[in-house]
Chains A and B, each alone.
Chain A
Amino acid sequence: MHASEILWTVVIGFVLVGSVGFFLSIYNSLIEMKNNIGRSWANIDVLLKQRHDELPKLVSVCEAYMQHERAVFDKLSEARAALAKAAGVAQRSDAENQITRAIGQFFAVAESYPELKANQSFAALQARISELENAIADRREFYNDTVTLFNTRLEQIPDSWIADGMNLQAAELFKIDESDRKDVAISFKMSA
C-alpha cells in the first residue's frame, strides 16, 4: 500500500467518523429538545392543576360574603368550563389566560369586602394562588425559551436538513393574553 493511499484512507476515515458523529450529535440534541418541550409543558400543567384545585376552595370561602357578585362567579366557572374543552397548546393557553383574568377580577371585587379580606382562609388561598401564578409565569417563560430555541434550530442549517428528515414540526408558544399587553391608562387628578 502506497503512502498516499494510507493517508487518503485515514482522511476518509476521519471524514466518515466525523460526519456520522456530527449528524448523531444534531439528531440526539433535537430529540432531547423535543422531549424538553414536552417536559416543560408537563411542568406547567402540574401547576395549572394545582391552581384549578384551589378554585373551588376559593369559591366556597367567598360565596357567603359575595352573594351579590354572581357575575364574577359565573366568569370563573365559564373559564373553567372553557379549559375543560381546550385541546392543544394554543387553546389551552387561551383558556388559562381567561382563568387568570377571571381570578384577577375576582380578587379585585373581593377588595371591597373587608370582612372577606379579614378571613384567614381567604388570605391563605389568595397567597397560595398568587404564589402559583408567579411560578406559572416563570415556567411559561422557560417553556417559551425552550420552544424558541427548538424552533430556531429547526430553521438553521444543517439542523433543518436533519429535522426535515425526522419530520419535526415547530412547537407552539404559550402566548400571553392580548389584554395583558395593553397599556394601562393612569391619570392623576391634581387639585389646584
Chain B
Amino acid sequence: MQEQRGTYNVKAGLAEMLKGGVIMDVTTPEQAIIAEKAGAVAVMALERVPADIRKAGGVARMADPRIIKSIQEAVSIPVMAKVRIGHFVEAQVLEALEVDYIDESEVLTPADEQYHIDKWQFNVPFVCGARDLGEALRRIAEGAAMIRTKGEPGTGNVVEAVRHLRAVNAQIRQVVATPESELPDLAKELKAPLDLVKKVKELGRLPVVNFSAGGIATAADAALMMQLGADGIFVGSGVFKSQNPEKTARAIVRATLHYNDPKVIAEVSEDVGEAMPGLEMASLEAKDRMQDRGI
C-alpha cells in the first residue's frame, strides 16, 4: 500500500492531537525541559520571547537553527518554530530542520506586506494568527492547518485574546444562522472564500483547531480562554517572564485541563509567585501593535 505524507489530513491531524493542551514559548533546551516536565504538549522554539522582542525593537527574524536543533534534541514533544509572515525561505529552512509545526507569525517582523506563504507547497503544517473569522479562513485557504487567535503578544494582558476569540465565535454563529442563499454575500463581507464559509456553516466551528494566544499570563487566563471555546492555549512570555516559571507552567497546564472546575483553578493558582509584568493596551502605539500585521 502507498504511504501518503504531507496530506492535509496528516497536517491538521497533529493540531487535533494537541487539543486541550498548552504550547509554550522557550528559548533554551533547559526551558524546553521545564515545559515538557510541566506537561506542555509542544514547545515553540524562539530566540527571544515576545516581551523581549517588543523591548529590543528592530527586525525580529526566524531563530538561529542551532537554537532550534538544541531544543529538538532536549525534548520528545513536538517542536514548533516561527517564521516571518511571507518569508517562504525561512519556512523552507524550518522544513529542512524538520520542525513539527511552523508558525507564520506576526510576532516577527513581516517580510511581505501583500502575500502570506503559500502553505500548500510544504509537507510541514502551518499555524497562523487571526483576529476574526475572515482572517482565519483566508489563512486556511492559503493552507494553514491550525489557527490561533492573535491577542496582543508579549503584553501579559489577556484583553485582546478575549476580543479576538469572541469575534471569531460571534461570526461563526452569524454564519450558522445565515441562510445558504445569503452566504455568498456574507463571504464577501468577511473577505473569505465561499467554500470555507459553507464549511463553517456545516460544522458550526472552524474547519481546523483554534488555539488562543497573545497575552495569557495566569492559570485563570488560560481557563478563561478555554471556557470561551478555545481548543487549547499558546503561552508566550507568560511562563518564562513570570517569577517562578516551573510553577506558572504547571498551573497553566492544569487549569487548561480542568478549565470548568474553579476549585482546581484555585488550587493550582495558589502561591505561584508573580505573573509577568503586564502592559495596558492604551500605552501601546499603533506601530507596536503586532496583531495588525499580516491580516
A binds B: no
By a beta-carbon cutoff of 8 Å, the part of chain B in contact with chain A is none
